[in-house]
Amino acid sequence: MIRRWDLEQEEYYFKIYDNNGNIIAYFQPDYGQIEPREREYEIIERMIKRGDIVYSGLLYIPMVRFNISNEDDYSIDEVLYNLSNAIEGIKRWKEFVESNKDRLGIVNVYVRRAYTDYDMLALLMLLKFSDGLRLSKRDMLATLGILLDTIVDNGLL
């Protein structure tokens, strides 16, 4: 199945959309040490317009949902079931990262509570682009699309 991803700049990072128009990830290139700091946004804008090359970045992507809301009460069995599913999802992500890190340029991963959904954990992947990644929509989609397709093919998204 061919997947079509889209990308939209939002300040200094990029939103990544699936073919249904849903935001599925955020990508923040590592722009390097920018001086002077007071002109950081202006310099980043210029780097993007010129299509400069970066060698790393962070991909922020949903990891697992606990399915436990603040408004509802749950039986112990329901909580155990939901947490067991979350733990299985975390194990699948761990296995995915360990078996694909070299091929996909995953340097490290960090887990944090999702910003917009407190019932979800998000994965922050530090990516390295050994040949560099041009800050152009086409090049970013081509490179990140390989990783996103692999994540989808492994049933993680």
The first and second tokens of residue 108, run together, are: 């490290």
Share of the chain above pLDDT 90, in %: 82
Q: In the block, which residue shows the tokens 């091929």?
A: 103
Tell me: the pLDDT tens digits for 75-102? 999 999 999 999 999 999 999 999 999 9
What is the overall mean pLDDT for the chain?
Answer: 93
* DSSP labels, 28-81: EE-----SSGGGHHHHHHHHHHHT-EEEEEEEEEEEEE----SS----HHHHHH
